[in-house]
Amino acid sequence: MIDNEKVIREIGTPTYVYDVAAILDRIKYLRGKLDADILYAVKANSFIVKEIEEEIDGYEICSKGEFDICNSLDINRGKMVISGVHKDRPSIEEMLESYDDIRKYTIESLNQWELLTDVAKNCGRHIHALIRLTSGNQFGVCEEDLKYIIAHNDEAVIEIDGIEYFSGTQKHSIKKINKEADKLITLIDTLRVELGFTVREIEYGPGLPIFYYQGEEFDEEAFLDEVKLALDRIKEKGVKLSLEVGRSLVATSGRYYTSIGDMKSNKNGNFVILDGGINHLVYYGGTLGMRIPHFQVVRVTEDEAVNLNDEKKIEKLNKSVDEIPKELLVGTEDENGLITYNLHGSLCTVNDILVKNINSRRLKLGDVFIFENVGAYSSTEGISLFLSRDLPKIALCDKEGNLRVVREVIKTSNINLPRY
Ligand SMILES: Cc1ncc(COP(=O)(O)O)c(C=O)c1O
């Protein structure tokens, strides 16, 4: 369990903290609920890959960079599926020349199949692969190409175990998942009838959803029960089923801490400037702060961290704002003692809006916003190089609540600096 006060006092802001015990529990929960192997999509968060190694069934690795991270952490290569739309020759050569224990590769196109075959042959390797079926975009191959590869593949070099299929993230329509299951089942049958090919394995990315915003209701348990029924239908075909999961595995385990660096008002509203921003925080579907994610605000006083909604601490909170000189007060309280604020980051773009129109007790410089559900994609998808702002620290929280910083602040000015 993450202790907010400890994070703020020991590490400061901006910081991400990931709760490792929560992720391990989540892996067990999803595996049990869906009765399938769980592969972790490393792109969602590369900072917890080592911590989950014992528990996770495998890793879906989509770039040479992700491979390098996992390999540097000594991750068991027998758990690595080397996926991703573009595998370049030098990267494939390096992996195949150096290692013969990588579990599997995916084939994303006819060219990539030829490349893999050529490099594997040159290195004297026999590898296992899945062919990625497209969902109608730049990823994977169409059914015709898939059949062509199966029919012309040199099994002595590449053993094709089955199919990979991922059609998008944040899928909450069980109808869509059932349709995808139907499509895979039909394909399994077609390949057997037309080519005498047995699909032994399906690696499917169901894009399991996370509900990020206040007011949203989602019965995950019931949804997963339905997903399981769809998956069971695929398994009835006698295939081994693995699920590629990113968001749903790690999102809820992460918190992002950012504190108020400045506040001001003008005729358009009250503005809070945080020491983070959209360079650090990405909520799927949350453009321009129009939807309110789950968050809390705390004020760290001399002896404790007080949640601004804690009615029992009103006196203490009021006392702490009494110290603010009148001319520096931002916004006017309504009859309920609340002020409407817009939360912004520190970037030079009007789009740097974290949340619009929140009603809060009076805020103060230094108050800390703690955003929930940021374990997936925030630290990897943000526009982190913009404005040469520093990258935040990252800490892991173990089951005893101990914090361990696994990335110190990184200065992006070093990355954005031309060198002559
Ligand atoms: C091929 C592939 N598999 C799995 C995932 C993980 O998706 P999610 O985070 O929705 O589980 C992605 C995400 O982009 C992906 O591209």
pLDDT, residue 281, reads: 94
Q: List per-residue pLDDT tens for the chain, 420 residues long.
A: 899 999 999 999 999 999 999 999 999 999 999 999 999 999 999 999 999 999 999 999 999 999 999 999 999 999 999 999 999 999 999 999 999 999 999 999 999 999 999 999 999 999 999 999 999 999 999 999 999 999 999 999 999 999 999 999 999 999 999 999 999 999 999 999 999 999 999 999 999 999 999 999 999 999 999 999 999 999 999 999 999 999 999 999 999 999 999 999 999 999 999 999 999 999 998 877 889 999 999 999 999 999 999 999 999 999 999 989 999 999 999 999 999 999 999 999 999 999 999 999 999 999 999 999 999 999 988 899 999 999 999 999 999 999 999 999 999 999 888 888
Mutation test of ligand 1: which of 26, 34, 62, 374 has the most ligand atoms closer than 8 Å to its C-beta?
Answer: 62
User: Using CA positions, which residue lies closest to atom 2 of ligand 1?
Assistant: 166
User: Using CA positions, which residue lies closest to atom 1 of ligand 1?
Assistant: 166
52: Cβ below 6 Å to ligand 1? Answer: no
CA of 45 to the centre of ligand 1 (A): 11
Atom of ligand 1 nearest to the CA of 249: 11
**CATH code linked to domain 46-245:** 3.20.20.10
pLDDT, residue 285, reads: 86
User: Using CA positions, which residue lies closest to atom 16 of ligand 1?
Assistant: 166
242: Cβ below 6 Å to ligand 1? Answer: no
CA of 380 to the centre of ligand 1 (A): 13
246: Cβ below 6 Å to ligand 1? Answer: yes
379: Cβ below 6 Å to ligand 1? Answer: no
CA of 151 to the centre of ligand 1 (A): 28
382: Cβ below 6 Å to ligand 1? Answer: no
What would the two tokens of residue 409 be?
């602040």
pLDDT, residue 417, reads: 86
CA of 239 to the centre of ligand 1 (A): 21
pLDDT, residue 142, reads: 98
CA of 213 to the centre of ligand 1 (A): 21
Atom of ligand 1 nearest to the CA of 62: 1
Ranges for all domains in the chain classified under CATH 2.40.37.10:
252-414
Give the pairing of strands 254-266 and 15-19.
antiparallel
252-414 placed in CATH 2.40.37.10: yes
CA of 365 to the centre of ligand 1 (A): 38
Q: Which residues pair with 359 in a beta bridge?
A: 340
CA of 274 to the centre of ligand 1 (A): 30
pLDDT, residue 204, reads: 98
CA of 294 to the centre of ligand 1 (A): 23
Ranges for all domains in the chain classified under CATH 3.20.20.10:
46-245
44: Cβ below 6 Å to ligand 1? Answer: yes
CA of 169 to the centre of ligand 1 (A): 6
169: Cβ below 6 Å to ligand 1? Answer: yes
Atom of ligand 1 nearest to the CA of 169: 10
| Cβ count within 10 A of residue 184 | 24
146: helix, strand or coil: helix
pLDDT, residue 88, reads: 96
207: Cβ below 6 Å to ligand 1? Answer: yes
pLDDT, residue 34, reads: 98
